[in-house]
Amino acid sequence: MTYTQLAVLGVLIAIVLDLYVFKTKLLRRRVFWVSYSIVIFFQLVTNGILTGFGIVEYDGAAIIGSTTPQNEPPTFIGDGRLVYAPIEDLLFGFSLVLLSLIIWIWLGKKGIQREPMAGPPRKSVHRFLGIK
């Protein structure tokens, strides 16, 4: 299978695990989508470094875009890439993050270190978070 196929499959499996197997239903929660939007921003930054400098290189046969060129960075946006990284990486990242949170929440539901729960934020960051 190509990376494109595996990446789509990975997302589908993660969705099924969340909604029907572990029933964590994170995909229906605001806390998931807000934190995922923060994560995806930083993924673009860090993955941009890994792929833009050619630390990780891709074979054009496995992705929508073309092979990472030698001695120059890949396309910044376009040719199946977003901030140097193949768009497949966004799907890979989504399933990595979702699977991690599914297991984390599932363990909490089972009572494994449910406590201490997160929060509250320290007073010193209240203004920064818009907390009155």
Partner 1 sequence: MSKFAYLSVLLGCLVGTAWLEFFLRTKVYRRAVRLILTILPVVVVFSIWDAYAIAQGHWTFDPRYVTGITTVANIPLDEILFFIVIPICAILSFEAVRSARNWEAGDEETK
From 12, 53, 73, 76, residue interacting with partner 1 (rule: CB under 8 A): 53
- Decide the pairing of beta strands 77-78 and 85-86: unpaired
Residue 54 binds to partner 1 (criterion: CB under 8 A): yes
Residue 66 binds to partner 1 (criterion: CB under 8 A): no
Write down the least CB distance from residue 35 to partner 1, Å.
4
Helical (H) or strand (E) element with 35: helix 30-52
Please state, as a whole number, how many other Cβ atoms lie within 10 Å of the Cβ of residue 68.
21
Classify residue 45 by burial, with Cβ atoms within 10 Å: 0-12, 13-18, 19+: exposed
- Residue whose tokens read 């890439």: 81
From 8, 35, 66, 75, residue interacting with partner 1 (rule: CB under 8 A): 35
Return residues touching partner 1 (CB under 8 A): 2-3, 6, 10, 24-26, 29-32, 34-35, 38-39, 42, 46, 49-50, 53-59, 61-63, 93, 96-97, 99-101, 103-109, 112-114, 116-122, 124-125, 129, 131
